[in-house]
Structure 1
């Protein structure tokens, strides 16, 4: 019997989980602590890295206490985290400035100067595009890619840039807090789009760094996801209430480990994630790139495989917006009417659960209302930081329940758009694993099945699959499993959903309209939202 702790570092909160590993991986307990994501007027999105560490310390102490565990019970820790952030630290590992989130898109000028000038294909300079594709298997074509955040700091905050010792991602900052080591796992290194993927290389590319003006000395040592990054220092152990010397493993990014936790690890396996952000990901054995639809093959935790990855910036964030601004009454004019009674509070776990039940009667198509889930721009299948969400075709009889239902459908429409874009290059699986907090609601699972016309499988603890993936990595690092593929037999399916032919016909009618909304409003988005 082995107990491990994994940390799932999301966009708006950190979840700490304790797993017991025997012949299966069993969740013993979990707890969550939230933190802020600050959205700036210039397109910036920032977080204080110390908020992640404080949440990690608080939840570690809490989960031990709540589950009657002692520090000696924990034999390894690891991470699953949001990716493509920029955390610049000094030689002591302290943040020089706030971390720039993966959704930060302020570096438009830097991106245009860096790769957008000259003769272009897909918005990228053809010479730099070709060199990047040959060496890294991808290209920094998105304004949200980390290198442009790095260049933004260099050009706009020279006093901060002068202090930089290392460029880290989110979990790498927490690893440094735990071990005093500056490392970056292979998947995070690839996500910088500075990583040489060619056989016999597997390191940061000096040539690409020179092309983009990145200082090689700022880049940390690269390790595998299953490697031990170091051991817990005395100071970190005291803050976490853990034992000094506990092995700390590299872990992986959410895009790497959520598929592992979903059991979608073999070639051709497709999973869809519906958390704060969202994506469609299919496992492939060789590099595939579709620059026109902004889909790339990213290195995952499972050696020798890639994840063909299409990202949606705001998925569950749209549902959070609905909760805060539609389901709840900001003006308090109808506060008494809208309060959930004590009787209902016993039935429903939270307001999201209540919302899902409240919209169960809404028919497919939400009585004509369509929602676009681009609340903070979009990356795939089109790249546009100016794109925004909208409710389209509201009529005099449209109500809140229609609008909330339309949000779920809009997110699922976008997943269909991404899935169809993937199929231009690869074969996706006929049965799709659906995970994340969105997979907790049966209504969402059924809508997704109907929109995609695919069978949908939901695993046990779908909202904890990132942490499960990190537990698998830890088990491999501790020698309890020989390889990541061995964990597939431990991932159990809880529910299955099949598409309804009649409902599918409705969604087939609405889907082209959904797609047209971006093309028809692209210029308007630019007028209203470009800086």
Structure 2
């Protein structure tokens, strides 16, 4: 029997289960969708639904694999990747005490401001390796402690999404080094929890998961899940990594200077670093990586694909799964030459890099009577691309030379949007085969290396095949440079408006 591995990629809108061989080649996959629940600034997800969807997808997948390949496929290990910067509070039995607080959630804005009064931003960067916003895990924990003290008192462990799923599969509360560094309570020198940072924030370190290597075994699959999936009870489940480092691995961007961009609900860049470089502006520290010798600079645009999904829904063009994207691309392409200065600021849920402002909100600027849905959709795509350029410029200040950009995620399937991004960035974009599977492949790589089937992650560079390159068009890039300069002025122009509105709302 040939060794194969089962991996889960748990995203914001759905979960994908894959089976890969020891070279990382995809054998088969299955998907289940779900959604988020929003009320004002609260954004929650049902962890029980996420887990049941993952197991449903795995049952379907493994049933098909057994039917098509029989006993020739042996599942030698399981690994998980998932969306990062969420919060799941669980009790001693591992049961969630509340719905998962999403990375999109804004309830912790007040907690982030209160923390800044106790630990000023300049001190935060030294103490926590970042200046914290409502989207970070630590302010979410503070919100829980301050607003739901009875829940916090009953909490045994404070987990991110991947860690909560691994806990369900194994009964063990563990995180990897990249996941731990996302809490901003991580001691980079000792590669464990920084008790001084925990004390400064008022967080009980005993409520945090154990920190292990991504390639370590978290534990064997619990008997109930093993029986459901038809797997041996001693099937190892590996610690794995979150979606940022997993996508970096799956894209084949495994060398220093390699950059990947994930076009999903959020858009983010991951820049592989040979050393832990310091932000010249003292705002954002890099994350640890699956490879202990590497670091990854994470540059997020909070609503990328989510902005397009929102626009399609608002224009009555359908929900995910029912949108005619061929029509959408034609509408966007037909609107290219008469945008007439229309700009979109894509800050639907605050923004991270480079403004780091929870209160920022989206705006259309320059709407005219002649603008159509096609113009609106193009403005959204261009606005996300402009924000990407702004974030990338911020990242380049760290001093790591960018060698190439690999695009992954569902958003990389659209050629028009990809060309807009290449034109705005003035850089070529490489799209790999099966870009939507990169996160799951990266998760599987943790099990492949952990099991000893490969000595390290370097095999991923050759596994990822570039199927298309988008080269910037000089004339369009020149036009975008002028419009990008206008775009950068939007934040300063709009700042007094949404901050004043926010202050009035708090009175």
Q: Does TM, normalized by the shorter one, top 0.5?
A: yes
> Pairwise mapping of residues 97-496 of structure 1 onto structure 2 (< 5 A)?
97-117=98-118, 120=120, 124=121, 126-132=122-128, 138-198=129-189, 201-290=190-279, 292=281, 294-328=283-317, 351-363=324-336, 366-496=339-469
For 1:92 and 1:230, locate their aligned partners in 2 and report how far apart those are by CA, in whole Å: 16
Which deviates further from its counterpart, 11-20 or 91-100?
11-20
Structure number with greater CO (CA < 8 Å, separation at least 6) is 2
Q: Match for 1:528 among 490, 493, 501?
A: 501
Contact kept, 8 Å, 1:294 with 1:380, in 2: the verdict is no
2:58 corresponds to: 60
Question: Partner of 2:104: helix, strand, or coil?
Answer: coil
CA 1:189–1:466 in 2, change beyond 3 Å: closer, same or farther?
same
Contact kept, 8 Å, 2:256 with 2:273, in 1: the verdict is yes
CA 1:458–1:291 in 2, change beyond 3 Å: closer, same or farther?
same
CA 1:430–1:406 in 2, change beyond 3 Å: closer, same or farther?
farther
For 2:96 and 2:185, locate their aligned partners in 1 and report how far apart those are by CA, in whole Å: 22
C-alpha distance after superposition, 1:289-329 (max 9, x if no partner): 43748432111112211111211111000111122111527
For 1:293 and 1:387, locate their aligned partners in 2 and report how far apart those are by CA, in whole Å: 21
Q: For structure 1, which runs of at least 5 residues remain unmatched after alignment?
A: 133-137, 331-347
Contact kept, 8 Å, 2:44 with 2:100, in 1: the verdict is yes
Question: Partner of 2:261: helix, strand, or coil?
Answer: strand
Aligned residue pairs total 499
For 2:417 and 2:26, locate their aligned partners in 1 and report how far apart those are by CA, in whole Å: 24
For 2:204 and 2:318, locate their aligned partners in 1 and report how far apart those are by CA, in whole Å: 50
How far did 1:54 drift?
Answer: 0.7
1:39 corresponds to: 38
For 2:80 and 2:313, locate their aligned partners in 1 and report how far apart those are by CA, in whole Å: 30
How far did 1:365 drift?
Answer: 7.0
Contact kept, 8 Å, 1:76 with 1:248, in 2: the verdict is yes
Question: Partner of 2:285: helix, strand, or coil?
Answer: strand
With the length of structure 2 as denominator, give the TM-score of the two structures. 0.93
For 1:461 and 1:329, locate their aligned partners in 2 and report how far apart those are by CA, in whole Å: 24
With the length of structure 1 as denominator, give the TM-score of the two structures. 0.89
C-alpha distance after superposition, 1:459-511 (max 9, x if no partner): 11111110111121111011111001232121111111211111111101100
Q: For structure 2, which runs of at least 5 residues remain unmatched after alignment?
A: none
